[in-house]
């Protein structure tokens, strides 16, 4: 018996994300060669826990932009860029496929750990999947043998809530229960009914992937503002044909949904259900890996592998425990705040490297199917001959006949597909794509046109590839925006007002108050966002005749936590001398709201969007123009948070003692101040770099040209400094000084009273 080959395992650590920077996280990971070490910063224990893999990719720091957006390593840096990761793992996948083996590469890790970046990438930083697709057709183009030809088909599926869906099928045409995973002696594990699209070039495969990606299921959690909520599998069927003989290799590229803790993601409702199903399937995958590791280490030979516990493990059965060459890349967060999850991922990867598969080159699929069909036919002949002799088959034989009929039907379908010429497959695929486009145009054309001809808000994200992925249009009339907050978040204040009204008897009999009208409808939000947003948060009224959108708060929480261009609705109403109104009725209030303009940034809780007026330009044009981005929107929002520090301190100190709620609020403000300090430091560094560049240009130029460059450079630097510092320094520096002075004054009061009771602690702001 051939010796087993171990699963190849690598880990990759990414840079800090925005959330981790805000938490002032520190690096808890270190890598040297193939060894990764992790230590628990919070406990102060200097002891590290080492893990050794086939590869440890350090991608946390030591990189620069090469001017095209591609992140390359600095000289003498250990930074592993996208090309290096592909050359190490991706090339190995393609080499295996070219040699006739089935192969699989899958990415595992916590939500937001960087799995999709390694697999897909963004911009010029292409990941393993697109580089692999380019490389396939580059190799095909270099083939020198005129008698040899290649055929490539692509399928893309996702596993969402334990249902397998084909991403190349329109959402409304998919079966509700999804596609079924079946097993055949001849075909192995396969997905019944999945589309296999023939592709003849990298451009064709890129278009197919883009189409499928647009159908993926994404959702917002605190861990990742646009998080994949499903496992995604890209299946590339690679067929080499020569002299009537063929070998077929299946390349499975798997991007697993992120493992997550409900407490960290802030997930409830549908997001919580999705997270539960994700974790359930990943737990099943962990159990399978553990059992396979036991079998691979020869501790136990007769181990039952629970592949059927989830659709994910069933689909990966051949990759994990069959005749496939398998590679696993685990994405790690470097942050001390994610120590527990990162350690769990490392242990997961450590178990996976103990799995051993026995991979053999694939034989001609046509010949194999013909042989299997002949064998099944021989079995049926024997049963029929026995029946003619008067011997009736047993119940088990009848059951076996039914299964055999299904097997034969599957093999006949596969054989018919194999017997089609490549040209026929391509032509048939084009006809199907054209029919699908026509169907979408006839069924959804008018609705899609109306939706695109309406004002909308599109998401902003720290990851540029996710900007504009989530879009919410505002049809004429009223649109309620809400989230996963409790009813008390939005209705507690309305209840007290309603009680007050009823007690005065001012409400005419038989008529409903605006609050009652709203509550009687028991309405769900038209636009549902994630955690940190009240169930009834804000309302947008779209006047189609005037092409005007006006936003109101739908709750007290909405007044405080809805921001337009960085300022809360409460502050905007106050600054414009308008009445503070909470809109709970269906009709537009008589009181004025805040009118939205094109490119206004909107923040609901901590969900960032930009308002797009369809009469001005499409969202793609606005995003591409750079007029608005996530960093700018967040800076505006942070400045608004800072402006509230002074008022909070005054309110807190008037009573002579700091309440618990004020302490918590000020602690949050303190975190924002620290974050803003870092941004100011970064801005100063940018100015130093810019002046250094100007000095370099001065030296390169001579005589009058240098003098002209000097004048222009100084003018440009002064204008840039003034414009950026006007925005930050004038508003923030005074706020910093006042806030820090006030907070240190309050510390003295708090120390004498609150700390004496031993209930709370306070950190001086320095």
Contacts of 343 (CB under 8 A, 6+ apart): 38, 49
Instruction: For residue 121, give Cα distances in angstroms to 8, 392, 692.
Output: 21, 61, 33
- Rounded to 5°, the CA angle 568-571-575 comes to 140
For residue 602, give the nearest of 625, 569, 646 by alpha carbon. 569
Q: Which residues are annotated as part of the binding site?
A: 109-116
Instruction: For residue 453, give Cα distances in angstroms to 456, 505, 546.
Output: 9, 46, 14
Interatomic CA distance for residues 9 and 345, integer angstroms? 12
Residue reference for tokens 């008022």: 647
Contacts of 512 (CB under 8 A, 6+ apart): 520
Coil, helix or strand at residue 123 = coil
The alpha carbon torsion through 439, 443, 446, 451 (nearest 10 deg) reads -100
Q: Which residues are annotated as part of the binding site for ATP?
A: 109-116
Interatomic CA distance for residues 411 and 394, integer angstroms? 25
Residue 344 is encoded by which pair of tokens? 């769990």
Please count the CA atoms within 13 angstroms of the CA of 403 that sit on its side-chain side: 10
Please count the CA atoms within 13 angstroms of the CA of 553 that sit on its side-chain side: 28
Residues 21-26: contacts with CB within 8 Å, 24+ apart?
21/675, 21/678, 22/671, 22/675, 23/335, 23/337, 23/671, 24/671, 24/674, 25/335, 25/336, 25/337, 25/338, 26/335, 26/336
Interatomic CA distance for residues 398 and 406, integer angstroms? 13
For residue 355, give the nearest of 111, 93, 104 by alpha carbon. 104
> Phi and psi at residue 169, in whole multiples of 5°?
-110, 135
For residue 540, give the nearest of 448, 449, 457 by alpha carbon. 457
For residue 96, give the nearest of 136, 137, 144 by alpha carbon. 136
Residue reference for tokens 């690096």: 27
> Phi and psi at residue 139, in whole multiples of 5°?
-65, -40
Residue reference for tokens 């190349």: 168
SS3 of 125-194: EECHHHHHHHHHHHHHHCCCCCCEEEEEEEEEEEEECCEEEECCCCHHHCCCCCEEEEEECCCEEEEECC
Residue 374 is encoded by which pair of tokens? 């002949």
Interatomic CA distance for residues 219 and 217, integer angstroms? 7
């Amino acid at each position: 018996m051939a010796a087993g080959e171990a699963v190849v395992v690598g880990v990759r650590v990414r840079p800090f994300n925005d959330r981790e920077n805000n938490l002032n996280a520190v690096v808890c990971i270190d890598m040297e060669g193939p060894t990764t070490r992790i230590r628990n910063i919070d406990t102060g224990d200097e002891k590290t826990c080492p893990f050794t893999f086939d590869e440890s990719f350090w991608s946390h720091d030591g990189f620069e932009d090469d001017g095209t957006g591609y992140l390359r390593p600095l000289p003498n840096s250990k930074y592993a860029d996208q090309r290096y990761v592909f050359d190490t793992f991706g090339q190995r996948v393609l080499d295996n496929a070219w040699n006739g083996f089935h192969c699989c590469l899958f990415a595992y890790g916590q939500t937001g750990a960087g799995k999709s970046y390694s697999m897909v990438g963004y911009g010029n930083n292409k990941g393993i999947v697109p580089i692999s697709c380019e490389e396939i057709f580059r190799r095909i183009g270099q083939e020198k043998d005129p008698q040899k030809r290649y055929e490539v088909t692509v399928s893309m599926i996702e596993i969402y809530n334990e249902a397998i869906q084909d991403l190349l099928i329109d959402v409304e045409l998919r079966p509700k229960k999804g596609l079924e995973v079946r097993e055949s002696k001849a075909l192995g594990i396969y997905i019944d009914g999945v589309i296999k699209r023939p592709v003849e070039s990298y451009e064709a495969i890129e278009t197919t992937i883009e189409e499928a990606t647009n159908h993926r299921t994404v959702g917002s959690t605190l861990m990742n503002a646009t998080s994949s909520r499903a496992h995604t599998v890209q299946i590339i069927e690679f067929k080499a044909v020569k002299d009537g003989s063929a070998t077929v290799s299946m390349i499975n590229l798997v991007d697993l949904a992120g493992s997550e803790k409900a407490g960290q993601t802030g997930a409830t409702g549908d997001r919580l259900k999705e997270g539960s199903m994700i974790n359930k399937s990943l737990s099943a995958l962990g159990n399978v890996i553990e059992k396979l590791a036991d079998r691979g280490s020869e501790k136990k030979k007769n181990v039952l592998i629970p592949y059927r516990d989830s659709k994910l493990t069933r689909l990966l059965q051949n990759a994990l425990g069959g005749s496939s060459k398998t590679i696993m890349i685990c994405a790690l967060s470097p942050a001390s705040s994610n120590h527990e999850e990162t350690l769990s991922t490392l242990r997961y990867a450590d178990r996976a490297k103990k799995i051993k598969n026995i991979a053999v080159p694939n034989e001609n699929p046509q010949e194999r199917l013909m042989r299997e069909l002949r064998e099944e036919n021989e079995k049926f002949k024997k049963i029929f001959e026995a029946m003619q002799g008067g011997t009736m088959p047993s119940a088990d034989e009848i059951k076996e006949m039914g299964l055999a009929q299904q097997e034969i039907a599957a093999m006949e379908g596969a054989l018919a597909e194999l017997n089609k010429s490549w040209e026929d497959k391509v032509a048939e695929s084009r006809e199907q794509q054209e029919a699908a486009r026509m169907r979408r145009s006839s069924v959804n054309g008018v609705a899609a046109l109306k939706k695109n001809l309406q004002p909308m808000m599109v998401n902003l994200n720290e990851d540029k590839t996710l900007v504009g992925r989530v879009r919410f249009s505002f049809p004429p009339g009223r649109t309620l925006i809400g989230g996963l907050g409790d009813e008390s978040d939005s209705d507690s204040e309305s209840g007290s007002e309603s009680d007050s009204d009823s007690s005065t008897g001012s409400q005419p009999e038989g008529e409903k108050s605006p609050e009652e009208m709203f509550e009687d409808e028991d309405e769900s939000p038209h636009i549902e966002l994630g955690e940190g947003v009240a169930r009834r948060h804000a309302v947008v009224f779209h006047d189609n005749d005037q092409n005007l959108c006006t936003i109101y708060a739908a709750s007290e929480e909405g007044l405080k936590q809805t921001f337009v261009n960085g300022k809360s609705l409460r502050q905007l109403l106050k600054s414009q001398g308008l009445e503070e109104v909470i809109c709970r009725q269906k009709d537009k209030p008589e009181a004025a709201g805040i009118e939205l303009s094109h490119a206004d940034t909107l923040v609901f809780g901590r969900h960032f969007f930009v308002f797009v007026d369809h009469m001005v330009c499409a969202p793609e044009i606005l995003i591409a123009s750079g007029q608005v981005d996530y960093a700018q929107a967040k800076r505006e929002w942070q400045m608004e948070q800072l402006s509230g520090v002074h008022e909070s301190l005054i309110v807190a100190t008037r009573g002579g003692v700091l309440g618990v709620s004020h302490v918590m609020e000020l602690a949050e403000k303190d975190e924002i101040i620290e974050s803003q300090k870092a941004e100011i430091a970064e801005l100063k560094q940018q100015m130093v770099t810019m002046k250094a560049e100007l000095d370099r240009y001065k030296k390169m130029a001579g005589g009058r040209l240098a003098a002209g460059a000097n004048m222009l450079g100084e003018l440009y630097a002064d204008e840039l400094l003034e414009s950026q510092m006007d925005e930050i320094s004038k508003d923030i520096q005074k706020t910093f000084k006042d806030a820090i002075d006030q907070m240190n004054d309050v510390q003295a009061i708090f120390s004498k009273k609150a700390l004496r009771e031993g209930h709370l602690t306070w950190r001086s702001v320095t």
